[in-house]
Chain A
Amino acid sequence: MRSFLVISMLLVGVVGCTTSNLDKQIEAKKAEIDAIARELESKKGQTFESTHDMHASLRVATISAWLQSISSPEFVVTAVGVKKIGDLAYKGGIGKAWIEPESDTKLRLSLAHVSAGTGGSKITWSANLGASAESRARFDVLKVTGNVKCDGKLPGLHVDGTLVLEPVVSTKAPYVMSLTNPPSIPIVASCGLGQLGTYSMPFSAAVKDITSGTFDLGFKLQGDIQIPLEPNPAKYHYTLLLKDSEVGVINGNIDYRTNLDISLKPK
């Protein structure tokens, strides 16, 4: 009986080592995975295409929602006079006028209902603009002195512009929000200066860009690898070094692509 067991055991050993059935199953599974992988690749679409080591895509629709939130009820830029040089108006033998005090010169711009979209490879925005300007001018005309308030108001105006992306610095994409239509804000403050005439101060050059800032692109340049191995737990710190970076607007996204070098250091 026991001899039979030994011989049976040896036979079972031989049978136990037979793996041809498993080999067939493994090959079949690999083939199926390969086929699915090929199908995935062919159907995956642009979102999943990778030309660089790392991509970050930020939806412009999300940026539009953010612009709406920061301009609700309105986004206000102000300016105040600090220092004047020269006279506003001068007529020999009659008199002159000048800005005084400087701090009475004020400009206020407001943007409401800002929304953003994409136009080709650009981010465009539009809004309702309101603007007002005021100033105070002192005059000395034919020995008569005094002061007069100058003001002007721009009725609600639909404006368009672009949000221009600049080269990415670290993990942030700088932007500048500038006007395209009209190319500048047509706001003036007018005042009557008697015999010197009626005078208009143009403030269009005071605000060239509406605002600027940065967008975090959602990635970091550093991370840790914690290795809880015994007997010596360890921690590594890696740093990403960006190279061949490019940023643009693709398919409704701010699209940032970069290749990476990675340096590792024990921590």
Chain B
Amino acid sequence: METLMHNCSLRVILRRLHWREAIISSLVLPLSIASTSCNSTEREQKQAQLNVLNETLSASRSTLEELKAGKLPPAYDLHLFLSHKSINKVLAAVENYKFTLPNDPSIMVTLKSLSISNSGALPTVTMEASAVRGELSADMYAVAVLVPAKTADPDAVSFRLKLVAFVPKLKWYVLELTKIKFVEVLLSAEISRITNRLPVIDMPVSKLVSWGAPASSNSVTIRTSDPAPGTDGSTLEMKVNYPSTETTRTLAITNYIFLSSGIHIFGVLK
């Protein structure tokens, strides 16, 4: 945010400059432009990356402590595991989808590819994205985490992509005011509003679990007497009735554990 504040101050100051200072600036700036040009949002990208790493670190420490304390795996009736590789195959559905930036509908964001990361204990989804307005375009540093989402379907277990970083990767120079404005709009996008435009993914988990079998019957023929001299013996066909053992129970999810290989979902049956 420091650079963003710097960008805003820059424009205010430029507007207030007297023409003489403008001349001085015009003499000084060409000499200084090389040194003042930089990846304008490099600092924001790195700060965002650091924030994500801090979250990942916190989640990883917490998981490790639980593991060391013998709390993992938790008590469970049913444990399901889904590999990151599989989740990535599902996330491929979202590739090349476009949405407009909530705070500026003239900016179109394209999600190019999404992949869930394998480090730490936070389900981090790194997204390659771009933002375009007219001739201006920027690749975006975008990171989301998978968080459980509520859905209307009582049998669904869903995850939402919650955006935690959305920063343009854009190079600009101090006098490129249009680009500065573009960067400013991208940086001021409310990530919670972008989150509402990101996918909700159903996990292939069934919350209604049935065991047993309905009542049934079958036919069995038993031999009631062995063939004796001069006879064929006897048989009796019987109808055997089995009672219903069918039971449906509801899976209550108690834990999600995220490890390098994938997502572990633990639940108890009620």
Taking Cβ atoms with an 8 Å cutoff, the residues of A that contact B are 2-3, 5-7, 9-10, 12-14, 16-17, 19, 22-23, 25-26, 29-30, 32-34, 36-37, 39-41, 43-45, 47-48, 50, 52-59, 62-63, 66, 69-70, 75-90, 92, 98-99, 102, 105, 107, 171, 199, 201-203, 205-208, 211-216, 218-232, 234, 236, 238, 240, 253, 260, 262, 264
Query: Are B260's CB and A82's CB within 8 A?
Result: no
**1/0 per residue B225-252: CB within 8 Å of A?**
1001011111111111111011100010
Q: How far is the CB of B87 from chain A (nearest CB, A)?
A: 10
Pick the residue among A9, A10, A82, A225 that contacts B202 (CB under 8 A).
Answer: A225
Q: Contacts A17-B38, A47-B79, A77-B243 given: A216-B209 contact, CB under 8 Å?
A: yes
Query: Are A40's CB and B63's CB within 8 A?
Result: yes
Measured between alpha carbons, how far is A69 from B211 in the docked complex, in Å? 12
Q: How far is the CB of A14 from chain B (nearest CB, A)?
A: 6
CB nearest neighbor in A for B235: A85
Query: Are B242's CB and A29's CB within 8 A?
Result: no
**1/0 per residue B172-210: CB within 8 Å of A?**
001000000000000000000000111111111110011
Q: Contacts A171-B206, A218-B267 given: A50-B201 contact, CB under 8 Å?
A: no
Beyond contacts A77-B240, A212-B213: 10 other A-B pairs, Cβ-Cβ < 8 A, are: A44-B67, A47-B73, A81-B238, A105-B238, A206-B222, A207-B240, A208-B220, A218-B205, A221-B204, A226-B199
List B contacts of A92 (CB < 8 A): 230
Q: Which chain B residues numbered 34 to 61 have a C-beta less than 8 Å away from chain A?
A: 35-36, 38-39, 42-43, 46-47, 49-50, 53-54, 56-57, 60-61
Query: Are A58's CB and B233's CB within 8 A?
Result: no
Query: Are B57's CB and A33's CB within 8 A?
Result: yes
- Which 7 A/B pairs are nearest by Cβ-Cβ distance? A213-B213, A86-B234, A223-B202, A17-B38, A229-B99, A29-B53, A236-B93
Measured between alpha carbons, how far is A2 from B24 in the docked complex, in Å? 10
Interface centre among A5, A99, A218 (most CB of B within 10 A): A218
Q: How far is the CB of B60 from chain A (nearest CB, A)?
A: 4
Query: Are B28's CB and A88's CB within 8 A?
Result: no
CB nearest neighbor in A for B206: A220
Q: How far is the CB of B11 from chain A (nearest CB, A)?
A: 11
Query: Are B204's CB and A214's CB within 8 A?
Result: no
Query: Are A90's CB and B86's CB within 8 A?
Result: no
Taking Cβ atoms with an 8 Å cutoff, the residues of B that contact A are 2-3, 6, 9-10, 13, 16-18, 21, 24-25, 28-29, 32, 35-36, 38-39, 42-43, 46-47, 49-50, 53-54, 56-57, 60-61, 63-64, 67-68, 72-73, 76-83, 85-86, 89-90, 92-94, 97-100, 119-121, 156, 174, 196-206, 209-213, 219-220, 222-225, 228, 230-243, 245-247, 251, 257, 259-262, 264, 267, 269
Query: Are B237's CB and A82's CB within 8 A?
Result: yes
CB nearest neighbor in A for B21: A2
Q: Contacts A47-B79, A82-B237, A87-B225 given: A238-B90 contact, CB under 8 Å?
A: yes
List A contacts of B100 (CB < 8 A): 230-231
Measured between alpha carbons, how far is A22 from B43 in the docked complex, in Å? 8
Q: Contacts A56-B79, A262-B90 given: A22-B243 contact, CB under 8 Å?
A: no
Pick the residue among B53, B78, B238 that contacts A57 (CB under 8 A).
Answer: B78
Query: Are A201's CB and B224's CB within 8 A?
Result: yes
Query: Are B21's CB and A3's CB within 8 A?
Result: yes
Query: Are B262's CB and A50's CB within 8 A?
Result: yes
